[in-house]
Structure 1
């Protein structure tokens, strides 16, 4: 299971049916309890940006989606039951958001009040038209300020179906997508076999948010728990670490994005790369981060890597099977100066990561609000920010069947002022998905950087080290693209 642009996903043509979530309470005009619960820090900031953007007639938009395949003729009523059970189990998916006395209320409808209504959308006779419809559907249907906050549907064929769900970020994160696939498919298969649904409520993200707010809402900028952030900001007082390469952006301007993905290592190379990292006392994500740092340095960046890194807050047990925005973001800093070999940079990454993770509890949005209030008031990060994310999808629940289900995740954002890169490891290898500003400078920079990174991690896998300096404009090679709906590979 990997992440790549929806535009790269070859979905075979078929008849499209969608299921619209309805609430009998909402349709009856019943008011939500005003004494209810409050949204998390992540959700509040996300919703605020959407409100302010709408008021300025400058709307922002983004979504997180998952697609997967059902083999054989689709039983549509059974899939509808599986989808409804999934929504009923996860409280955050039943939530409506609204402002109450300045705070964002997060109120769920009762599970028993929900129903799904099937709607025939139409038939598409080519993969191109099918893909174009899905791209437009997700962009037009996901609205942070409107309930429901997701869309569910299927592309139905005589002998298979592609199921899709797209969510506003306010109710989920990337690690929620494997939960979606595993729960919906497990429920569908159980019902098809004559079994019963598991309607036990999953541990609620609203409980997580309530505990987080209880612990951190009352802190101020002098709180010692913010010492790590203050030290990272240093005398310059910059909360956000800058992306060190030229993207050709103007201050204060947002741009359309480029959304692209590529494979860095195939399955065999990824295994060797992991062994190389373990041999010097690190983990694969540390070796990848070390390689990123060296490539940025070789392209003109500093010898000391400074960046933001999202970290899962799910823990090992409580929230593993829950849908929600269980992500904190923290700064990391380490030495990748010239002359240091792979083992030395890895040791520096390991030390920097250990220091970072010891401060994981402080919510990113709360630190941002307290330590950089002027930037917090803006609707976007102030300039291109250095950002690194890694997920080993093989460790997710249901991963043993991801290949069978041909599961994939997709992210999209309307505009940006920088670059973000996500890395995923799955059974096919190590992959990269980047969203960055659509400027001539950014295309050159990111093209060179991605190819340099590919050559660097391959060199680490081959020789156990960084080898010779990476050329800034290496020769291009064909890049593997995602599996199509039939499970075969295709190329751009």
Structure 2
């Protein structure tokens, strides 16, 4: 599944309906705390002046076949909201600096259905959906999520479902589950087969357990050591993208994005075999390719970046909706590496060495070190080949969506799907950044392709 912005999703003209959650039951005080990352997000966005603007949502788009059954869709969304407790809960940052939570019980949420009885063209669909998502997904309001359906009028029937939620409710892996769960519940509600979704735990319980586990962490913990060392070596700020991005614009300028497929399924399998022959994993091979691109363009053999790491370590959280993400700094040197296998081995050693960092919430590490952890160059990897319905993603035009960003950083996502490997990158909206990030991505692709073609490469 590709991670793109709404502007890059193929739209059709049609009739829009907005589905806005509303509480029909009494809110109850809930003593469970926000997770560390949720609290940090609330505090960072409290005054609306953080670098990345007000928008911080993730979302999904996918198609349902045939005319939309509005009643069945309503039932499906209500069942889905009952399934995932964070959608029925709200953690609010008060004027006194304290965070308080309130929660609605299952069955306590309905949907306000707003139908537009006229046809939208493609441009107006994009404008309307984007405005709704930007406006109605703030972490400081409830609900911080919504659905929009587009019933096609041309060239074929069918319906596209759009969903967005603030990042505090959802992460990248949660996003790729949305199409399957909603489709299964919709088919069941329309008198189809049972959804048969596996039971799932609540991210709110995860946050409470995370807090309890982190109480005893202090400056002696290995995770703190990893971050302390990374920050010292990068002089107190995490390392930037290796090439020039140009000066940060004085006014807010939306970031640009590129998405491309670097391997098909067969090539991905061959690359995986290449990595495993040298005793390493797929992600280590990807990082080796990034390091070789860095060497080719800068002459620097040292690669420093940050990678997200999932925290779904218990089966209860396997299909939960939430922000199950830790961070780990990655640093390795490929100087003298004779071939791709050696470079991959060094990347694997770096991954292993920094694993402890992701086990402790980085917001807790910030508290201990008294230093903000602000990634500026991130390389993310997800293997989503075995997510339910993954084989059908191209057929139903399933995409993961992200909001516009305005920060002066570079994020690179590598996703292995049943159909190959997609690389998506967002970067500052300057001409200098565009030229250099596109050039860097081309060298990463060349390094990976060369490794695949020959089995070994030094990149030197």
Q: CA separation in 2, counterparts of 1:200 and 1:58?
A: 36
- Please give the per-residue CA displacement for 1:236-272, whole angstroms capped at 9, x wherever unaligned: 6525233222111349986431122122223332232
Given that 2:58 and 2:402 are in contact with CA atoms closer than 8 Å, whether structure 1 keeps it comes out as: yes
Q: Distance in 2 between matches of 1:9 and 1:367?
A: 38
Gaps in structure 1 of 5+ consecutive residues = 470-492
Higher mean Cα deviation, 307-316 or 136-145? 136-145
CA RMSD in angstroms, aligned pairs only: 2.6
1:64 matches 2:58? yes
Residues 1:434 and 2:425 are matched in the alignment: yes
Q: How many Å separate the matches in 1 of 2:37 and 2:165?
A: 15
SS of equivalent to 1:80:
helix
Moved more, 316-325 or 230-239: 230-239
User: Secondary structure of the equivalent of 2:149?
Assistant: strand
| TM-score, length basis structure 1 | 0.85
Matches within 5 A, 1:384-463: 385-463=376-454
State the alpha-carbon separation in 2 of the partners of residues 240 and 400 from structure 1.
37
Instruction: Give the aligned partner of residue 127 of structure 1.
Output: 122
Deviation per CA, 1:317-359: give whole Å up to 9, x if none. 2211100000101112222225531010111111111122244
Partner of 1:315: 313
Matched residue, 2:344: 346
The aligned residue for residue 12 of structure 2 is 12
Q: Aligned ranges for residues 237-316 of structure 1 at < 5 Å?
A: 237-238=235-236, 240-250=238-248, 255-300=253-298, 302-315=300-313
Structure 1 contact 85–199 (Cα < 8 Å) conserved: no
State the secondary structure of the residue aligned to 1:307.
strand
Contact preservation (8 Å) 2:223, 2:356 = no
The answer on 1:78 being equivalent to 2:72 is: yes
Q: Secondary structure at the match of 1:417?
A: coil
Q: Is the contact between residue 253 and residue 406 of structure 2 (CA under 8 Å) also seen in structure 1?
A: yes
Residues in 2 aligned to 1:169 and 1:206: alpha-carbon distance in whole angstroms: 14
Q: Is residue 38–residue 103 contact of structure 1 (8 Å, CA) maintained in 2?
A: no
Shift of 1:199: 9.3
What secondary structure sits across from 2:318 in the alignment? coil
Residue aligning to 2:86: 92
Distance in 1 of aligned mates of 2:126 and 2:336: 46
Pair 1:40 & 2:35 matched: yes
Note the C-alpha offset of 1:129. Answer: 3.1
TM-fit CA distance, 1:114: 1.2
2:198 and 2:297 map into 1 onto residues whose CA distance is 52
2:24 and 2:289 mapped to 1: Cα distance?
53
CA contact (8 A) 1:2 1:424 kept: yes
Aligned ranges 1:475-486 → 2 under 5 Å = none
CA distance 1:247–1:122, change in 2 (3 Å): farther
Shift of 1:69: 0.9
Deviations 1:12-44 (A, max 9, x none): 21111121111124xxxx6642x6221011111
Structure 1 residue 308 displacement after superposition: 0.7
Matches within 5 A, 1:211-250: 211-217=209-215, 219-223=217-221, 225-234=223-232, 237-238=235-236, 240-250=238-248
Secondary structure of the residue that 2:62 maps to in structure 1? strand
Change over 3 Å in CA distance of 1:200–1:295 after alignment to 2 = closer
**Using the alignment, how far apart are the partners of 1:178 and 1:47 within structure 2?**
24
Conserved 8 A contact 1:9-1:131: no
Determine if contact 2:28/2:102 at 8 Å carries over to the other structure.
Answer: yes
Cα pair distance change 1:145/1:316, threshold 3 Å:
closer
Instruction: Find out whether 1:150 has 2:141 as its counterpart.
Output: no
Structure 1 residues 230-239 or 346-355, which shifts more?
Answer: 230-239
Report the 3-state secondary structure (helix = DSSP H, G, I; strand = E; otherwise coil) of the residue aligned with 2:33. Answer: coil
SS in 1 for 2:317: coil
SS in 2 for 1:397: coil
Cα distance change of structure 1 residues 151 and 467 upon mapping to structure 2, 3 Å threshold: same
Contact kept in structure 1, 2:129 and 2:148, CA below 8 Å: no
Distance 1:449 1:460 in 2: 17
Q: Spell out, residue by residue over 1:119-175, the C-alpha distance to the aligned partner (whole angstroms, 9 max, x if none).
A: 113544533333333333322332221110111121113631111111110101010
- Please say if residues 219 and 225 of structure 2, whose CA atoms lie closer than 8 Å, have aligned partners that are also in contact: no
Q: Which residue of 1 aligns with 2:44?
A: 49
CA gap 1:191/1:132 in 2 versus in 1, 3 angstroms: same
The CA distance in 2 between the partners of 1:444 and 1:123, in whole Å, is: 42
Q: Which residue of 1 aligns with 2:181?
A: 183
Shift of 1:85: 0.6
Give the deviation of 1:463 after TM superposition: 1.3
| Contact 1:177–1:409, Cα closer than 8 Å, also in 2 | yes
Equivalence for 1:2:
2
